[in-house]
Structure 1
Amino acid sequence: MPRAYPPIPHDRKTHALSPSVIESVAGFTAGVVATLAVHPFDVLKTRLQLKTSQAQWGNSFRILRQITRDEGSYAALYRGLMPNMVGNSISWALYFLWYRNLKDAIQVYRGPNSNLTSLDYFASSGASGILTAIFTNPIWVIKTRMLSSGRNAPGAYKSMSHGIREIMRTEGPKGFWRGLVPSLFGISHGAVQFAAYEQLKNRRGGQLEGGKSELSNWDYLLLSGASKIFAGSITYPYQVVRVRLQTYDAERTYKGTGDAVKQIWKKEGVKGFYKGLVPNVVRVLPSTCVTFLVYENTKFYLPMWYGEEAAKYDV
Structure 2
Amino acid sequence: MAGHDGSSSSFVETVAGFTAGIVSTLCLHPLDLIKTRLQVDRSSSRVNGSLRVVRGIFQNEGGVKAFYRGLTPNLIGNSTSWALYFLCYSNIKTARWTWCRSLEEELTSSDYFLASGAAGMLTSILTNPIWVIKTRMLSTSSRIPGAYASFTTGASQIYYSEGIPGFYRGVLPALFGVSHGALQFMAYEKLKLRRIKKTFTLASDDDHAEPQQVRWRELGNLDFFVMSSLSKIFAGCVTYPYQVLRSRLQTYDAHLIYRGVQDAIVQIWAKEGVAGFYKGLGPNVLRVLPSTWVTFLVYENTRAYLPDLISRA
Question: TM-score over 0.5 for the alignment?
Answer: yes
Which amino acid in structure 2 is aligned with residue 156 of structure 1? A
Counterpart CA distance in 1 for 2:280 and 2:306 is: 36
| Residue matched to 1:253 | 257
Matched, 1:138 2:129: yes
Matched, 1:207 2:198: yes
| Residue matched to 1:280 | 284
Q: After TM superposition, give the deviation of residue 304 of structure 1 in Å.
A: 1.3
Matched, 1:75 2:65: yes
Which amino acid in structure 2 is aligned with residue 102 of structure 1? I
Q: Deviations over 1:195-254 (max 9, x none)?
A: 000000011111124273621001101110110000000000000000000000011111
Matched, 1:27 2:17: yes
**Matched ranges for 1:210-221 at <5 A:** 210=201, 212=216, 214-221=218-225
| Residue matched to 1:6 | none
| Residue matched to 2:231 | 227
Query: How many residues were matched structurally?
Result: 298
Cα distance, 1:124–1:80 mapped onto 2, change above 3 Å:
same
Q: After TM superposition, give the deviation of residue 57 of structure 1 in Å.
A: 4.9
User: Is contact 1:27-1:92 (8 Å) kept?
Assistant: yes
TM-score (norm 1): 0.91
Counterpart CA distance in 2 for 1:22 and 1:293 is: 15
Matched, 1:99 2:103: no
Which structure 2 residue ranges, 5 or more long, are not aligned? 202-214
User: Is contact 1:202-1:213 (8 Å) kept?
Assistant: no
Moved over 3 A (4+): 12-17
Matched, 1:305 2:309: yes
Q: Deviations over 1:32-87 (max 9, x none)?
A: 00000110000000001111222245521121011011001101001000000100
Identify the match of residue 35 of structure 2 among 18, 38, 45. Answer: 45
User: Is contact 1:48-1:58 (8 Å) kept?
Assistant: no
Which stretch has the larger CA shift, 173-182 or 298-307? 298-307
Identify the match of residue 152 of structure 2 among 142, 147, 161. Answer: 161
Cα distance, 1:13–1:166 mapped onto 2, change above 3 Å:
closer
Give the aligned CA root-mean-square deviation in angstroms.
1.6
Which structure 1 residue ranges, 5 or more long, are not aligned? 1-11, 310-315
User: Is contact 2:2-2:8 (8 Å) kept?
Assistant: no
Provide the identity percentage: 57
User: Is contact 2:39-2:247 (8 Å) kept?
Assistant: yes
